[in-house]
Structure 1
Amino acid sequence: MNDDRTSAEIATLQAEIAFQGDSVQRLNDALASQQQDILMLQRQVALLGEQLRALRENGSHRDGAAEVEKPPHY
């Protein structure tokens, strides 16, 4: 009877370990995917920053007063 109980406890522990291993793998996959998303967003933000700087530089070279003037609808 004690051997049956021990075998059942071992089987339970093995099932829990397998579940935890699967959970860890799914969390790892999710983390890797999120990291790729973060890297992509960082590249996009850097590109947008460069574009904004270029627009500001082009605008200041053309007409310095353009940024001060309010649009006609104000």
Structure 2
Amino acid sequence: MAYSSNYSHILDPLIENNYQLFMIERRIMMDAKTFIRTFKEDEMDLSLTDDPKKNTKVWQIPVYNAGEPC
């Protein structure tokens, strides 16, 4: 397992925010032979957990009451 901090001498001059780091990490992972996700998205995915409560994909529209701060 590698961390971005292992390559800080290369990345620090280039990366200005976490979004840029995320995009570099995603590009590297696209070429990986094996990709282990945190949570399963499909039945065939390898994942660190198979807890169905963490990946229900049941999205709800948030409800805001008038007069209450958002």
Tell me the TM-score normalized by structure 2. Answer: 0.30
**Highest CA radius of gyration, 1 or 2?**
1
Which fold has the larger relative contact order, with Cα–Cα distance below 8 Å and residues 6 or more apart in sequence? 2
Q: TM-score, normalised by structure 1?
A: 0.28
Return the structure number with greater helix share: 1
